[in-house]
């Protein structure tokens, strides 16, 4: 292929608008692709990226006529998995379920990530946008955000919170919660969402903030207590659960997102085909219900618009992280 051409130049992405796509589009033609199985690199087993990746992989497999497998790699807040994809051949057979952590947080948190989110990937589409959920185990003596904050202030430095890894969206959401509420608590990072949820369910940590997709089954089963959603509005999936802002921490707001990306220089026909298939998959009633049950929406963006969104998120969170003085070793 002509290496002088890039499938997505970020100068063009920065100028692109953020138009949301809500209807199926025509499939681009990539006649020789795919001819073998594809791989999507996602976070740890049980994480939001893992759950979304497996749901999408099953449907992409049917649409493309080739197996699509999910490979889990949550090491270093997702840096290792992202670097693996960035260094993969740009042939459309290795994809990344990119998210805030790998695209917008980690480059400002870590001295080295092994990749540059603005130049090492060809954005395909944002795929998943919505609130996260603050939960505690039933044994924690707090039935509301205010009670959790009061408990933390009465025991400074004694409470702890879990995340699926340093620099992940759940980690940053909890760090921002700490600062907004004026409390001190200890961060306990785990290797992926599954390990994090197991620790929370076992009462080894006080609280966690994670996507509704990963937590709703435990909340509905009574294994976890939902205290607040991180977004600006309540979730239709949990209408009785207030936002964290209305529950006692004014001004707090955090929206999580995931997306699909390929290595830079992946041929444009491949990007277009993948984008078209994901739009078609996401336009079904099945997809709308599945996302709604997880407290999110597809939130689709075209490749250029998604690239511009990544750049804006990277700049925004870089400023937040610098001002908060958060740094990972």
Q: Please write the tens of the pLDDT for every residue from 52-76.
A: 999 999 999 999 999 999 999 988 8
Task: Tell me what pLDDT residue 293 has.
Answer: 82
In order of 127, 186, 217, 300, the CA distances from 97 in angstroms are: 9, 28, 22, 14
Count how many domains the chain has.
Answer: 2
pTM score, two decimals?
0.76
Task: Tell me what pLDDT residue 268 has.
Answer: 97
- Tokens, residue 75: 């090491």
For 75-102, write each residue's pLDDT tens digit: 888 999 999 999 999 999 999 999 999 9
H/E segment holding residue 278: helix 268-282
For residue 27, is pLDDT > 60? no
The answer to whether position 271 is within a domain reads yes
For 204-226, write each residue's pLDDT tens digit: 999 999 988 889 899 999 999 99
- Do 37 and 115 sit in the same domain of this protein? yes
CATH number of the domain residue 163 falls in: 3.40.190.10
What region, left, alpha or beta, does residue 46 occupy, with left being phi > 0 and alpha being psi -120 to 50 degrees?
left
Q: Which of 214, 229, 244 is the last residue of a domain?
A: 229
The answer to whether position 3 is within a domain reads no
The answer to whether position 247 is within a domain reads no
Distance CA 195, CA 48 (A): 13
The answer to whether position 243 is within a domain reads no
Distance CA 120, CA 97 (A): 14
CATH number of the domain residue 46 falls in: 3.40.190.150
For 149-194, write each residue's pLDDT tens digit: 999 999 999 999 999 888 788 988 998 899 899 999 999 999 888 8
- Do 39 and 104 sit in the same domain of this protein? yes
Helix (H, G, I), strand (E, B), or coil: what is residue 70? strand
Work out the pLDDT band at 26, boundaries 50, 70, 90: very low
Task: Tell me what pLDDT residue 10 has.
Answer: 33
Distance CA 222, CA 175 (A): 26
- Do 136 and 126 sit in the same domain of this protein? no
- Do 142 and 84 sit in the same domain of this protein? no
The answer to whether position 108 is within a domain reads yes
- Do 19 and 123 sit in the same domain of this protein? yes
- What's the sign of the alpha-carbon dihedral 44, 231, 113, 119? positive
- Do 313 and 172 sit in the same domain of this protein? no
- Do 109 and 141 sit in the same domain of this protein? no
First-residue to last-residue Cα distance in the chain: 39
Structural domain of residue 219, as residue ranges? 131-229
- Do 167 and 197 sit in the same domain of this protein? yes
The answer to whether position 209 is within a domain reads yes
Distance CA 188, CA 88 (A): 32
The answer to whether position 154 is within a domain reads yes
| Alpha-helical regions (H) of 74-233 | 79-86, 100, 106-109, 145-154, 169-181, 193-201, 212-220
The answer to whether position 2 is within a domain reads no
- Do 171 and 319 sit in the same domain of this protein? no
261 backbone dihedrals φ, ψ, rounded to 5°: -140, 160
Distance CA 176, CA 320 (A): 9
56 backbone dihedrals φ, ψ, rounded to 5°: -70, -40
Task: Tell me what pLDDT residue 77 has.
Answer: 84
- Do 135 and 225 sit in the same domain of this protein? yes
- Do 31 and 167 sit in the same domain of this protein? no
Distance CA 185, CA 132 (A): 19
Task: Tell me what pLDDT residue 31 has.
Answer: 58
- Do 280 and 137 sit in the same domain of this protein? no
- Tokens, residue 95: 């994809």
Across 36-93, the runs of DSSP E, i.e. the strands, are 38-42, 68-72
């Amino acid at each position: 292929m002509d290496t002088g051409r890039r499938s997505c130049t970020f100068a063009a992405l920065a100028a692109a608008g953020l138009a949301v796509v809500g209807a199926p589009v025509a499939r681009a033609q990539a006649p020789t692709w795919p001819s073998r199985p594809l791989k999507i690199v996602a976070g740890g087993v049980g994480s939001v990226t893992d759950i979304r990746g497996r749901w999408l992989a099953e449907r992409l497999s049917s649409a493309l006529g080739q197996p699509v497998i999910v490979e889990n790699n949550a090491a270093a807040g997702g840096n290792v998995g992202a670097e693996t994809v960035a260094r993969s051949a740009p042939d459309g057979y290795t994809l990344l379920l990119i998210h805030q952590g790998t695209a917008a947080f980690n480059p400002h948190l870590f001295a080295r990530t092994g990749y540059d989110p603005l130049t090492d990937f060809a954005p395909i589409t944002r795929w998943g946008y919505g609130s996260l959920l603050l939960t505690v185990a039933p044994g924690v003596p707090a039935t509301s955000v205010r009670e959790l904050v009061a408990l933390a202030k009465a025991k400074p430095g004694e409470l702890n919170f879990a995340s699926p890894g340093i620099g992940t969206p759940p980690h940053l959401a909890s760090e921002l919660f700490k600062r907004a509420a004026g409390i001190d608590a200890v961060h306990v990072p785990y290797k992926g969402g599954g390990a994090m949820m197991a620790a929370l369910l076992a009462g080894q940590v006080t609280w966690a903030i994670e996507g509704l997709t990963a937590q709703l089954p435990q909340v509905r089963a009574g294994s976890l207590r939902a205290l607040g959603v991180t977004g600006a509005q309540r979730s239709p999936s949990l209408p009785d659960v207030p936002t964290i802002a209305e529950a006692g921490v004014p001004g707090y707001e955090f929206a999580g997102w995931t997306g699909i990306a390929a290595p830079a220089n992946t041929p444009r026909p491949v990007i277009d085909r993948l984008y078209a298939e994901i739009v078609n998959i996401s336009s079904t009633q099945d997809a709308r219900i599945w996302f709604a049950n997880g407290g999110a929406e597809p939130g689709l963006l075209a490749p250029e618009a998604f690239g511009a969104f990544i750049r804006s998120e990277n700049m925004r969170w870089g400023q937040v992280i610098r001002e908060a003085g958060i740094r990972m070793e």
